[in-house]
């Protein structure tokens, strides 16, 4: 038990945990909040949580070291208040040894839009928690809460309530024990949980959110960072807000609403006292969690396979995109794009794709999204229907009454695929919210930033979201690259064709190959030699010589991005003249197709 | 008793005391607590300055004792702090006590090193002697700066009768650093001592003045903390000043200060002070000895006002990628309702932390403290924005080092080039445009002639960028918007006049109508970037007329009529009406903006795609390196954005260049030259507006050099830049000459002449046709075309018709032209 205040000891302990967690196996031994239902986890034990920082609360002061007095023995004991929510009884408030310390609270949610395959794969690797797996909750509370058992006077029923609803939301993980729980849980429980808004960025999200207490270097974390947090779980219900408890007039500085948000029931939103957090460059469970540089063996083996996997993926996409190989090329490029740097306001490497000419029949766009969903770790489908645009909250907004950042659909982790379905847009009027939402989407695409609404001012948060827009004509939103889909399938056979495509799910090993390919290609380093630079420059000058209108600076910007992505997609980490001419060729094909279309269909800009 | 009362946690230096209750009636009690205690108090003690009788209203009062002391709720709940004699109890004192050398006075307040007597004496000396001849604070306006400042303020109090003395902590610091340290560390003890000192001094000096209650000292501008983010546990119980924005204010909370009890049996009444939020209800009546007979009488108890104010970090103070912090502030008594949500304020107060109680019945507590600030002084930073410039608020604090770096940079001969190339490095070339924007960022010198009736002169430089789509105009705008602290970015397409100016909105909470300001007002003293200027609706654009010259904005909406300041520089970007810039047309024709608006821009630049090989090569190199250079390489090449930002901020606040004699001469010459150029061809080529532009640009250039004087080189550069911009935007495509009338009247002189000729020819043609009252439009056009040797466009023909219609010679109805008279 961590009594005692020696700070040297404390640092050593944290160091010890860190060292052990660095070892490859140790990581996987820690149970994860993402896939183990909360009530199976032992309180005050080490757990991990893969999450996104959704909100940052105000820093709080706590008793870092305090002294307790045992009334019977009259003995004073120094105790450490770190990594826990509640003090032990008999605190001597006037002790000179009390040390006030500061810590920061982050409100963390599971990675928004994380696809089920990611969850499935990571939970396959999960460990059986060290506690008894049998859901004997009563036992647990007496067994482990020995130092806080005086709080267990709280009615047992209430605990059951929260536990039950938790089970309900977790049951789709297919845990046999859960099923049994489910039947035990009274039926009215889901309602009690749903009135509490857990503030997930995307609608329909599930999973526990968590209050993470950070003890050091909290300035290093940023909003929307994706982390794997290792910390000590605390589900002490005394930290929860309960409306029945008498409010001390001195405490009235917080409104009831604020309390509800900042102190949600611990059984729904557990507290996690962070020992160590690792920023995740990606959330693909198929890749080694650390950066690619550390895994040269893995890297070389994947690199050698890249070209062949790419060919297979291209064939698959061509099939999915109604036999259009060019569009398939661009889709691959889009899926591996990422903002790799910013030059003053200009984000480099973004590659927003506008897939125009999508058939409206047979809910093609939705099916297309389902395919993408199978391949990328996190994604979100946003039908741009008038109703959605006018009603959805895309931009996060600060709620000053509850003092929290109310999330919006654009609060996404890096490299989330955002699929905008413009075929759903119908004629009608956009209201103020609608106009604001469309502007926000436009800003996101052009500058890769979202202006969060702080009521009195706006604050800019940079983001890195892959946006693909499916539309019939040219999209009303800006895009880096527009490609017109040329269907090789006769409209009459469309339904048949589509159902055939989607009825044959790829073998999972094949899918895993694609998944790995896309994530690895995005992580690769890229360079360009002086020689190639020279020839690329010459090329530009030559192109301009023939017809200055043909290539503008903007076109050149795009060409450079295409060349970069094309190289990476082939597993080449530096640009070759071959790839450069191939990129040029691709772009030429694309533009000629656009012009062709313009001639056929005069109105289309 | 300590278990359930839970006093505040303390910073290491101070300490709580709890064995207190015993000796609080003696001389050792702290000054505040002696109110309303029984009469056995030693009235001659310097610590006594409120008496039980002072509560009685109506008696003439003109002394310290006659004036009631008002509870200072802002200093928190009363702490029973006895003084300790250091000599008798050396072990109990803190290590901090050291400097007190005055042998006789070793009495200090428990837990501090404050000796009441010395402290009071020092403060009185400060009040009597402190002089600040260089004071620029507007509060001191009208005071004689060479006389003791605070004595004059006391005099003011005696006249006005507002018993509040605001004391600038910086003054205290410069006068007596030790006193300042004590004030910062032990505000709760020191401020009452200050109160005492002030009141003694005041009533000595103005024995006849009558105040509502005793003077309260309100220190402000404590340098302890500036930023909410840097608050840490060491600041607890100390005096701090932080800045932020008010986001929420609560309703007024009446807080009981003193409870009034009355006995049911004998009607004996007694008062009990509230101690740390608790009332100790007397169990036994002292008069009749009945137990539990005393009842609280609410309307005879004393209450004080309290309000919760939430403030949030100002957006400028925040590191990127984090959310702003908030802090709870309690305002007491007359500070209640001093601030409104949305105000930017500097708050001076005492930082507090209280443990959180989980449940009164449980002995465990959450190991977390709640923190708040007890406000002592509010200062709104944007209060004066409606009247004038609040220099104080704008002043960013620069460290010595920073100023040194900036000055070194300014001393470099090529600083102008350096800065302009540091501007938006990702955008290639367009050197002159960047220079123009740089000068815009610095702005001219503000001149105010309103006293002589000539009004304000605009100091802001307005710039319009026109050009082909895809020439990174938007990117330039985005960059500027990100660079300046008070920048706004709007797009002409999305913004209505309402979004630009101001709109009236019903506040959902208070149901009051509130005026919400739009982008132009928000960017007061900043830059308003307007993209897609050409897409703006006409009535939105009309709003800009006033803003761009008068720098004000008049609103008449929902019964609210007001004029707001909008001293904003406008940086606008416009696309040509046709998809591509037509070099055969004038600027006006290309962007189709009214010339009245165009003439309000100091500089109009064209951003065109130059078509030449050398340029292409450089551009290609620039773009490729943009994509593939490593982050570090880029950093080295260019000045840091932060340095640039500071440089601009420094120059804007501290440098106010004035025209030198030679510079004025040069300007006059330049203007005369400009007028001359045109006069040869019979047209006006410069207007006073152009002269004003030149002056602004020259001043801005002097600011870039950190020079207090505008010299000839500044004028030269202003001339050059102005000429360059004109060359781009006001060249008559028909003649190849620069013609300012394109921008001022919307038409080049040659075009006007041509129109005239065509109209005359048309008139002749019609007259030659004899007496035909009506003619076909198309027929007439063809006839004219056949007759004329130069090509006549339909537009030209229409204009000629319009000119003749203006002469009342004919009218045009549909497709027929009728002669009049």
* A359-373, B408-422, B506-520, B530-544, range with the lowest pLDDT: B506-520
Which tokens is B268 given?
A: 């004996």
Report A:441-500 residues touching B (Cβ under 8 A). 446-447, 454-457, 459-462
Rounded CA gap, B394 and B525, in Å?
A: 9
Instruction: Yes or no: say if A405 and A54 are a contact pair by the CB < 8 Å rule.
Output: yes
Q: Is B321 in CB contact (< 8 Å) with chain A?
A: yes
Positive or negative: CA dihedral A185, A186, A191, A192? negative
Q: Write phi, then psi, for A102 (nearest 5 degrees).
A: -120, 140
Provide CB contacts within 8 A for B720, sequence distance 6+. Answer: none
Assembly ipTM: 0.74
pLDDT of B13 > 60? The answer is: no
Extract the tokens encoding A180.
């049994």
Helix (H, G, I), strand (E, B) or coil at A237: helix
> Within this chain, do residues B459 and B324 fall inside the same structural domain, yes or no?
no
What DSSP letter does each residue of B31-53 carry, written as one string? GGGGTT--TTS-TTSTT----GG
Within 398-427 of A, beta carbons closer than 8 Å to B belong to 398, 400-401, 403, 405
How confident is the model over B633-665, as pLDDT tens digits?
A: 555 555 577 778 778 878 877 778 888 888 888
Q: Which residues pair with A460 in a beta bridge?
A: A451
Q: Which residues of B386-405 are buried (b: 16+ CB within 10 A; e: fewer)?
A: eeebbeebeeeebeeebeee
A243 touches chain B (CB under 8 A): no
d(CA B287, CA B700): 81
> Does B369 sit within 8 Å of A62, measured CB to CB?
yes
Q: Are residues B664 and B790 in the same domain?
A: no
pLDDT of B252 over the 70 cut? yes
Interface of A with B in 285-324 (CB under 8 A): none
Cα distances from A10 to residues A27, A83, A229, B233, in angstroms, run 21, 11, 19, 20
- Best of A85, A101, A553 to disrupt the B interface (most B CBs within 10 Å) is A553
Q: Which residue has the higher pLDDT, B746 or B248?
A: B248
B613, pLDDT greater than 50: yes
CA of B708, closest CA in chain A: separation in Å?
31
User: Residue B111: phi, psi to the nearest 5?
Assistant: 80, 0
User: For B429, how many CA atoms within 13 A lie in the half-sphere containing its CB?
Assistant: 18
What is chain A's alpha carbon radius of gyration, rounded to the nearest angstrom?
27
Tell me if A237 sits within 8 A of A32, measured CB to CB.
Answer: no
Residues B194, B314 within the same domain: no
pLDDT over 50 at A8, yes or no: yes
Check if B323 contacts A (Cβ < 8 Å): yes
A394 contacts chain B (CB < 8 A): no
Position A41 pLDDT exceeds 60 = yes
Count of CB contacts below 8 A, A vs B?
210
A480 membership: H or E segment, kind and range: none
B-chain residues within 8 Å CB-CB of A253? 308, 328, 330, 370, 372
B25 within domain boundaries = no
In B21-145, DSSP assigns E strands to 83-85, 107-109
Q: Which residues does residue A354 pair with via DSSP β-bridges, in sequence order?
A: A469, A482
The answer for residues whose C-beta is within 8 angstroms of residue B570's C-beta and 6 or more apart is B460, B462, B463, B527, B528, B530, B544, B547, B548, B601
d(CA B202, CA B200): 5
Full domain range(s) for residue B342: 238-380
In a domain, B275, yes or no: yes
Question: Is B3 a residue whose pLDDT tops 60?
Answer: no
Q: Please indicate whether, in this complex, the C-beta atoms of B359 and A85 are within 8 angstroms of each other.
A: no
Per the CB < 8 Å rule, is A238 touching B363?
A: no
Q: How far apart are CA A420 and CA A382, in angstroms?
A: 5
Chain A residues touching residue B318 (CB < 8 angstroms): 459
Cβ contact (<8 Å) for A87 and B327?
Answer: no
The helix-helix angle for B187-205 and B149-160 (nearest 10°) equals 70
Helices in B608-748 by DSSP H: which ranges? Answer: 613-628, 631-637, 641-654, 661-679, 688-704, 712-729, 741-744
**Structural domains in chain B (count):** 4
Q: How far apart are CA A289 and CA B9, in angstroms?
A: 43
Tokens 């036999």, located at residue: A323
CB within 8 Å of A443: residues ≥ 6 apart: A449, A450, A451
> Considering only alpha carbons, which residue of chain B is nearest residue A434?
B494
CB contact under 8 A, B6 and A62: no
Strands B569-574 and B463-467: parallel
Q: Are the Cβ atoms of A345 and B368 closer than 8 angstroms? A: no
In degrees rounded to 5, what are phi and psi of residue B242?
Answer: -130, 155
pLDDT at residue A222 is higher than 80: yes
Residues A583, A418: Cα–Cα separation, whole Å = 25
Q: Which residue has the higher pLDDT, B106 or B291?
A: B291
User: What is the pLDDT confidence band of residue A143, given thresholds at 50, 70 and 90?
Assistant: very low
Locate the chain B residue with the closest alpha carbon to A54. Answer: B323
Domain co-membership, B215 together with B243: no
Which residues, numbered 164 to 183 in chain B, qualify as contacts with chain A under a Cβ-Cβ cut-off of 8 Å? none
* Residue A270: strand, helix, or coil: coil
Query: Does residue A578 surpass a pLDDT of 60?
Result: yes
CATH code (residue B532): 3.40.50.300
pLDDT at A400: 81
The edge-to-edge listing of strands for the beta sheet with B527-531 is B487-491, B527-531, B569-574, B463-467, B603-607
Supply the pLDDT for residue A169.
Answer: 36
Do both B722 and B758 map to the same domain?
Answer: no
Q: Which residue is listed with tokens 């008038």?
A: A386
Q: List beta partners, residue B447.
A: B457
Mean pLDDT, residues A157-161 taken together: 37
Joined together, the tokens standing for residue B204 give: 């000595």
Q: Are residues B678 and B775 in the same domain?
A: no
pTM of the model: 0.73
Asked if B702 and B791 sit in the same domain, the reply is no
Task: Classify burial at B781, counting beta carbons within 10 Å of its beta carbon; exposed 0-12, middle 13-18, buried 19 or more.
Answer: buried
Q: Higher pLDDT residue, B723 or A61?
A: A61
A86 interaction partners in chain B (CB closer than 8 Å): 358, 364-367
Q: Is A157 on the interface with B (CB under 8 A)?
A: no
Residues 6+ apart with CB under 8 A from B802: none
Classify A531 as helix, strand or coil: helix
B645, part of any domain: yes
Q: Report how far residue A254's alpha carbon sits from residue B368's, in angstroms, rounded to the nearest whole number.
A: 14
Q: Is residue B674 part of a domain?
A: yes
A324 pLDDT exceeds 70?
yes
Q: A456 exposed, middle or buried (CB, 10 Å; 0-12, 13-18, 19+)? A: middle
- Spatial separation of the C-alpha atoms in residues B527 and B423, rounded to whole Å: 15
- Claim to verify: residue B375 and residue B442 sit in the same structural domain: no
Residue with tokens 């999200």: A205
> Do residue B404 and residue B371 come from a single domain?
no
Q: In which element (H, E) is residue B303 found?
A: strand B302-312
Whether residue A241 has pLDDT greater than 70: no
DSSP one-letter code for B559: T
Q: Where does residue B511 rank: exposed (0-12), middle (13-18), buried (19+ CB within 10 A)?
A: exposed
Q: What is the pLDDT of residue B253?
A: 81
Is residue B723 domain-resident?
A: yes
Report the residue of chain A nearest B353, measured CA to CA. A61
Does any domain span residue B175? yes
Taking an 8 Å cut-off on Cβ atoms, the answer to whether A85 and B425 are in contact is no
Phi, psi torsion values for B486, nearest 5 degrees: -115, 65
- Picking from B320, B350, B380, the residue at the C-terminal end of a domain is B380
Q: What are the pLDDT digits (tens) for B350-398?
A: 888 877 654 545 555 667 788 888 888 888 765 444 333 344 444 445 6
Q: Of B308, B321, B475, which is closest to A223 when you measure between CB atoms?
A: B321
In a domain, B677, yes or no: yes
B369 at the A interface (CB within 8 A)? yes
Across chain B, what does the average pLDDT equal?
Answer: 72
Residues B345 and B465 in one domain: no
pLDDT at B58 over 80: no
Which of A56, A57, A62 is the best mutation test for B, with the most CBs of B within 10 A? A62
Q: What is the pLDDT of residue B571?
A: 86
**CATH at B188:** 3.30.1640.10
Pairing of strands B269-273, B253-263: antiparallel
Quick check: helix, strand or coil at residue B643?
helix
Residues B538 and B681 in one domain: yes
Interface test with A, best of B251, B422, B627 (most A CBs within 10 A): B627
* Residue of higher predicted confidence among A444 and B508: A444
- Contact across the interface for B372 and A253, Cβ inside 8 Å: yes
Q: A56: which strand partners?
A: A106
C-alpha triplet B778, B784, B790: angle, nearest 5°:
125
Cβ-based contacts of A545 with chain B (< 8 Å) = 613, 616
What is the model's pLDDT at position A380?
92
pLDDT of residue A237: 65
Q: What pLDDT is recorded for position A150?
A: 37
**Interface contact B616-A540, CB threshold 8 A:** yes
Q: The CATH number of the domain where B367 resides is what?
A: 2.40.50.140
Contact A106, A53 (CB under 8 A): yes
Contacting residues of A for B355, CB less than 8 Å apart: 63, 93
Same domain for B169 and B284?
no
In a domain, B13, yes or no: no
Residue B618 burial (10 A CB sphere; 0-12, 13-18, 19+): middle
Cβ of B307 under 8 Å from any chain A Cβ? no
Beta bridge partners of B239: B350
> Residue B11: closest CA among chain A residues belongs to which residue?
A100
Instruction: Write b or e for each residue in A8-22: b if 16 or more Cβ atoms lie within 10 A of its Cβ, otherwise e.
Output: eebeeebeebeeebe
């Amino acid at each position: 038990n961590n009594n005692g205040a020696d700070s040297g000891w404390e640092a050593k302990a944290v160091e010890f945990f860190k060292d052990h967690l660095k070892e490859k196996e140790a990581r996987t031994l820690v149970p994860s909040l993402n896939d183990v239902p909360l009530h199976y986890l032992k309180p005050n034990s080490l757990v991990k949580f893969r999450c996104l920082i959704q909100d940052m609360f105000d820093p709080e002061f706590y008793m870092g070291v305090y002294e307790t007095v045992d009334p019977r023995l009259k003995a004073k004991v120094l105790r450490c208040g770190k990594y826990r929510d509640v003090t032990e009884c008999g605190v001597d408030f006037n002790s000179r040894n009390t040390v006030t310390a500061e810590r920061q609270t982050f409100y963390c949610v599971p990675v928004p839009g994380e696809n089920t395959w990611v969850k499935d794969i990571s939970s396959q690797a999960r460990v059986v928690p060290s506690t008894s797996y049998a859901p004997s909750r009563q036992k647990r509370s007496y067994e482990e809460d020995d130092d806080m058992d005086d709080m267990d006077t709280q009615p047992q029923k209430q605990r059951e309530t929260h536990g039950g609803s938790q089970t309900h939301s977790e049951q789709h993980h297919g845990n046999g024990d859960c099923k049994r729980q489910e039947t035990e849980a009274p039926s009215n429980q889901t309602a009690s949980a749903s009135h509490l808004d857990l503030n997930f960025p995307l609608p329909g999200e599930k999973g526990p959110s968590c209050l993470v207490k950070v003890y050091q270097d909290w300035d290093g974390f940023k909003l929307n960072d994706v982390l794997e947090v290792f910390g000590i779980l605390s589900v002490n219900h005394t930290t929860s807000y309960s409306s029945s408890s008498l409010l001390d007039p001195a405490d009235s500085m917080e409104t009831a609403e604020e309390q509800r948000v900042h102190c949600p029931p611990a059984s729904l939103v557990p507290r996690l006292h962070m020992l160590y957090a690792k920023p995740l460059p990606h959330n693909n469970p198929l890749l080694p969690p650390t950066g690619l540089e550390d895994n040269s063996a893995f890297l070389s083996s994947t690199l050698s396979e890249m070209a062949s996997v790419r060919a297979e993926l291209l064939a698959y996409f061509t099939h999915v995109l109604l036999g259009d190989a060019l569009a398939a090329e661009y889709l691959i490029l889009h899926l591996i794009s990422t903002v790799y740097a910013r030059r003053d306001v200009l984000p480099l490497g973004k590659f927003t794709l506008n897939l125009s000419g999508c058939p409206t029949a047979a809910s093609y766009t939705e099916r297309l999204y389902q395919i993408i969903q199978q391949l990328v770790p996190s994604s979100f489908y946003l039908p741009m229907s008038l109703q959605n645009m006018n009603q959805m909250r895309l931009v996060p907004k600060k709620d000053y009454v509850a003092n929290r950042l109310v999330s919006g659909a654009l609060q996404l982790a890096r490299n989330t695929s955002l699929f905008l379905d413009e075929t759903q847009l119908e004629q009608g009027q956009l209201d103020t919210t609608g106009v604001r939402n469309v502007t926000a989407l436009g800003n996101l695409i052009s500058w890769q930033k979202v202006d969060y609404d702080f009521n009195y001012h706006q604050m800019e948060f940079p983001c890195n979201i892959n946006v693909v827009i499916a539309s019939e004509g040219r999209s009303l939103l800006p895009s880096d690259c527009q490609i017109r889909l040329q269907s090789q399938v006769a409209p009459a056979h469309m339904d048949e064709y589509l159902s055939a495509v989607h009825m044959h799910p790829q073998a999972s090993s094949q899918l895993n190959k694609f998944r790995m390919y896309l994530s690895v290609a995005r992580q690769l380093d890229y360079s360009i030699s002086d020689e190639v630079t020279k020839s690329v420059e010459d090329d530009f000058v030559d192109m301009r010589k023939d017809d200055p209108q043909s290539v503008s600076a903007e076109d050149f910007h795009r060409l450079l991005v295409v060349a970069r992505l094309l190289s990476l997609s082939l597993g080449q980490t530096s640009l070759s003249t071959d790839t450069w001419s191939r990129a040029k060729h691709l772009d030429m094909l694309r533009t000629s197709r656009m012009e062709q279309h313009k001639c056929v269909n005069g109105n289309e800009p | 008793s300590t278990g359930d009362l839970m006093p505040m946690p303390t910073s290491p230096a101070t300490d709580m005391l709890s064995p207190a209750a015993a000796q609080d009636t003696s001389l050792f009690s702290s000054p505040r607590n002696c109110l309303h205690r029984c009469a056995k108090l030693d009235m001659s003690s310097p610590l006594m300055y409120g008496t039980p009788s002072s509560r009685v209203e109506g008696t003439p009062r003109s002394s310290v004792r006659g004036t009631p002391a008002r509870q200072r709720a802002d200093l928190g709940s009363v702490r029973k702090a006895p003084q300790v004699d250091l000599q008798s109890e050396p072990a109990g004192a803190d290590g901090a006590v050291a400097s007190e050398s005055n042998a006789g006075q070793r009495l200090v307040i428990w837990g501090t090193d404050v000796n009441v007597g010395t402290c009071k004496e020092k403060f009185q000396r400060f009040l009597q002697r402190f002089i600040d001849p260089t004071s620029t604070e507007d509060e001191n306006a009208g005071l004689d700066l060479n006389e003791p400042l605070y004595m004059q303020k006391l005099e003011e109090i005696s006249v006005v009768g507002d018993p509040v003395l605001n004391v600038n902590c910086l003054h205290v610091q410069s006068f007596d650093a030790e006193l300042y340290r004590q004030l910062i560390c032990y505000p709760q003890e020191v401020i009452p001592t200050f109160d005492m000192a002030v009141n003694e001094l005041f009533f000595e000096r103005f024995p006849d003045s009558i105040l509502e209650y005793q003077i309260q000292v309100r220190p402000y501008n404590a340098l302890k903390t500036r930023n909410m983010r840097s608050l840490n546990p060491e600041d607890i119980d100390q005096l701090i000043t932080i800045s932020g924005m008010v986001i929420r204010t609560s309703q007024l909370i009446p807080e009981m200060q003193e409870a009034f009890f009355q006995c049911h049996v004998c009607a004996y009444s007694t008062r009990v002070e509230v101690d740390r939020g608790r009332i100790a209800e007397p169990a036994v009546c002292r008069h009749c000895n009945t137990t539990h007979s005393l009842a609280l009488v609410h309307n005879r108890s004393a209450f004080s006002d309290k309000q919760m104010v939430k403030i949030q970090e100002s957006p400028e103070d925040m590191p990127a990628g984090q959310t702003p912090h908030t802090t709870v502030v309690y305002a007491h008594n007359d500070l209640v309702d001093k601030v409104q949500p949305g105000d930017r304020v500097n708050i001076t107060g005492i930082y507090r932390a209280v443990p959180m109680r989980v449940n009164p019945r449980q002995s465990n507590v959450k190991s977390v403290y709640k923190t708040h600030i007890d406000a002592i002084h509010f200062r709104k930073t944007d209060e004066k924005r409606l009247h004038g410039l609040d220099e104080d608020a704008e002043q960013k604090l620069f460290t010595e080092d920073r100023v040194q770096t900036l000055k070194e940079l300014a001393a470099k001969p090529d600083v102008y080039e350096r800065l302009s190339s540091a501007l938006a490095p990702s955008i290639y070339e367009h050197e002159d445009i960047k220079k123009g924007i740089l000068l815009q960022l610095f702005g001219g010198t503000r001149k105010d002639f309103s006293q002589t009736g000539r009004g304000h002169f605009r100091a802001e430089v307005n710039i319009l960028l026109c050009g082909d789509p895809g020439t990174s105009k938007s990117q330039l705008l985005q960059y500027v918007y990100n660079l300046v602290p008070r920048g706004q970015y709007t797009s002409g397409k999305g913004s209505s006049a309402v979004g630009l100016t101001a709109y009236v909105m019903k506040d959902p909470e208070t149901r009051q109508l509130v005026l919400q300001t739009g982008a132009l007002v928000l960017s007061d003293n900043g830059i308003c970037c307007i993209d897609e200027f050409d897409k703006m609706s006409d009535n939105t654009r009309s709003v800009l007329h006033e803003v761009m010259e008068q720098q004000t904005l008049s609103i008449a909406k929902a019964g609210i009529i007001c004029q707001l300041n909008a001293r904003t520089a406008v940086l606008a970007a416009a696309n040509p009406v046709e998809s591509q810039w037509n070099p055969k047309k004038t600027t006006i024709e290309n962007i189709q903006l009214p010339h009245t608006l165009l003439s309000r821009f100091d500089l109009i630049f064209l951003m065109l795609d130059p078509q030449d090989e050398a340029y292409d090569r450089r551009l290609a190199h620039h773009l490729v390196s943009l994509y593939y250079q490593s982050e570090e390489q880029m950093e080295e090449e260019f000045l840091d954005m932060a340095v640039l930002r500071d440089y601009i901020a420094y120059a804007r606040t501290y440098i106010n260049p004035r025209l030198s004699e030679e510079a004025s001469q040069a300007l006059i010459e330049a203007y005369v030259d400009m007028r001359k150029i045109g006069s040869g061809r019979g047209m006006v080529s410069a207007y006073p507006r152009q002269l004003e532009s030149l002056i602004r640009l020259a001043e801005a250039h002097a600011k870039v050099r950190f020079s207090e004087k505008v010299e000839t080189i500044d004028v030269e550069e202003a001339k050059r830049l102005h000429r360059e911009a004109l060359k781009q935007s006001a060249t008559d495509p028909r003649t190849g000459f620069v013609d300012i009338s394109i921008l001022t009247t919307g038409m080049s002189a040659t075009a006007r002449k041509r129109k005239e000729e065509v109209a005359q020819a048309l008139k002749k043609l019609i007259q030659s046709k004899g007496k035909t009252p009506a003619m076909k439009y198309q027929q007439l056009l063809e006839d004219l075309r056949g007759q004329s040797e130069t090509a006549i466009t339909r537009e030209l023909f229409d204009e000629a018709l319009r000119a003749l219609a203006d002469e009342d010679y004919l009218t045009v109805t549909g497709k027929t032209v009728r002669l009049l008279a």
